[in-house]
Amino acid sequence: MTTADSNISPTAVALPTSTNKPAMAMVTTLFFMWGFLTCLNDILIPHLKALFDLSYAQAMLIQFTFFSAYFVFALPSGKIIEWFGYKKTMVGGLFTMGLGALLFIPAASAPSYPLFLTAFIILAAGITALQVSANPYVAVLGPEKTASSRLNLTQAFNSLGTTVAPWFGSVLILSGVPVAVDVMRQMSADELHTYRLQQASSVKLPYLGIAIALFILAAVIAKFRLPVIAAVEPHGKVRASVWKYPRLVMGAIGIFVYVGAEVAIGSLLVNYMSQPDIGNISLQAAAKLLFFYWGGAMVGRFIGSAVLQKVRTGTVLGISALVAFLLVVTSMLSFGAVAMWTILLVGLFNSTMFPSIFTLSIEGLGPLTGKGSAVLVWAIVGGAIIPELAGVLADHIGIHHSFIVPAVCYLYIAFFAFRSNKPSAEAPVPA
């Protein structure tokens, strides 16, 4: 993450004094798309779990492979920004996502769980490029003091995507009625193959439409004149290393545990709410209730965008994390409607976490912003590791108590939030 030669200071060039609203509106569409596609995983997990007779740990391989792509492709995406700039990285990310979406069609035609996992990796590789480029681009598209507010606003549309996706998925993907597992296990090889073909076919049309939409959006972004932000666009080689910024390193851990907690909860919610002692409802009905989890995040981000104009980012983040912790613990210690609605309410308090951690972490990086963003997106691999850990615990101690994993994650976020309010956390460590 260190480059050679030059006397360029990481903060040598000032950020814009006003927000470029047309550019922000265009980039916001990217936030919607990757939110929509990421949340569809929560629908595909119970669908593929039933289809391929998977354990929770095996089903969580969907999130493991998807979010492992962030670990693999985030730092290379930072280099792509350095070579080609933010706009071309966004366009390349969209085309890669389109290719990944198309791969769902042969995966469903096989049908093959490994091929589905391959499609998730390619799709996530494209989303990674978007995350590395679009998040910091929005943060620096205007004055630094309103960076958290801007990113919360765009993340609200990301949450709009995650809010719409469960309804979309429940209608088009979970519309079939799966047979019981014990009935499926008694089928002959030919009967099982025919059944899986029929159930998997519900994935084809939605992902074909998604692929077409992604290719069109890539073409539109390629033609749109996005402004070049001199303060963060690569302009020569910079000697400074992003690893000298303690807040960035702590923020990367914050992103790791936040994404892990959010994804672990979202991934287990459908199965959790269908439990007899929690919601006692069908998988399709439970999928529709995901609207409240992701919809809460959307509403919270619109509210947060206004609140962060007046309240310090670290304070808002810390309070949100503590409330989320209390809600998760309450759900673990209760049953029925209380357990179900308290865990759904966590989405509201998740709302400001990602954009707040992100903007706190990249503050003051200047031309190192792209590389700092790559480190933070790299940390999204928490969405691969923490849900898998929660899935293993669900298999061994029950899905109810597996939520101890996200609960611990929220405690760290609260620690990072309140510590970031201290001025000493902003300065780089001297060489």
pLDDT tens profile 153-168: 887 888 788 778 878 8
Task: Indicate if the pLDDT at residue 71 is higher than 90.
Answer: no
| The predicted structure's pLDDT at residue 341 | 92
Within a domain: 124 = yes
| The predicted structure's pLDDT at residue 306 | 82
| The predicted structure's pLDDT at residue 192 | 81
Between CA 178 and CA 50 the distance in angstroms is 7
Task: Indicate if the pLDDT at residue 74 is higher than 90.
Answer: no
Least confident of 2-11, 48-57, 300-309, 334-343: 2-11
Contacts of residue 92, Cβ cutoff 8 Å, sequence gap at least 6: 80, 84, 126, 129
| pTM higher than 0.75 | no
What are residue 179's phi and psi, to 5 degrees?
Answer: -80, 165
| The predicted structure's pLDDT at residue 416 | 92
pLDDT in tens, 3-47: 333 333 333 345 555 667 788 888 888 989 888 888 888 788 888
Within a domain: 253 = yes
Reference 375, options 9, 117, 81; nearest CA is 81
Between CA 229 and CA 372 the distance in angstroms is 16
Within a domain: 3 = no
Between CA 234 and CA 10 the distance in angstroms is 11
Residue 115 · residue 106 · CB < 8 Å: yes
Give the total residue count for the chain: 431
Within a domain: 6 = no
Question: In the predicted model, what is the mean pLDDT of residues 357-386?
Answer: 81
Within a domain: 246 = yes
Domain that holds residue 412: 21-425
Within a domain: 377 = yes
End-to-end CA distance of the chain: 15
DSSP 3-state assignment of 274? coil
- The structural domain count of the chain equals 1
What are residue 415's phi and psi, to 5 degrees?
Answer: -60, -50
| The predicted structure's pLDDT at residue 288 | 79
| The predicted structure's pLDDT at residue 411 | 95
Q: Residue 141: which CATH number?
A: 1.20.1250.20
**Max intra-chain CA distance, the chain:** 70
Task: Indicate if the pLDDT at residue 394 is higher than 70.
Answer: yes
Helix residue spans in 308-335 (DSSP H)? 313-332
Question: In the predicted model, what is the mean pLDDT of residues 76-104?
Answer: 90
Task: Indicate if the pLDDT at residue 345 is higher than 70.
Answer: yes
Within a domain: 1 = no
Question: In the predicted model, what is the mean pLDDT of residues 376-392?
Answer: 87
Query: Residues of the chain with pLDDT > 90: what percent?
Result: 26
The residue that leads in pLDDT, 306 or 114, is 114
Between CA 332 and CA 343 the distance in angstroms is 9
Between CA 303 and CA 294 the distance in angstroms is 14
pLDDT in tens, 159-201: 788 778 878 887 777 766 666 677 777 888 888 888 888 877 8
